[in-house]
Amino acid sequence: MDHLADRALAPDRMPHLILDLSAVVSIGSSNLSSLLRLRKSAIDRETKLRLTAPPDPVWAVFLTTGLDKVFQFSHDTPTALTELQIGA
């Protein structure tokens, strides 16, 4: 995931992003750093980033670090798509 942000951010304008975290077993500081860089690039490009379905251990990391207040979360991918379409 370290290079995900770099590869995904090549164009000046990128589509809205939804990252399904349901298969993520653990998340570390380098992963969080990559997500924060991706978030900043999305903001700079006036696009939205949604994270979906983090398992309990991953959600605990977001809660512990306070990043649950930084990122936008949706219950699942279909919900995230709907929320992005209606501008929620």
Q: What CATH number did the domain enclosing 18 receive?
A: 3.30.750.24
**pLDDT of 31-65, one tens digit each?**
999 999 999 999 999 999 999 999 999 999 999 99
Task: Express as a percent the part of the chain with pLDDT over 90.
Answer: 75
Per-residue exposure over 60-78, b if at least 16 CB sit within 10 Å of its own CB, e if not: ebbeeeebbeebeebeeee
Predicted confidence (pLDDT) at residue 9 exceeds the cutoff of 80: no
Please name every residue paired with 73 in a beta bridge, in sequence order, or none if there are none: 51
More confident residue, 37 or 7: 37
Global pTM? 0.80
Residue 24 belongs to what domain range?
4-86
The Cα–Cα gap between 43 and 48 comes to: 7
Domain count, the chain: 1
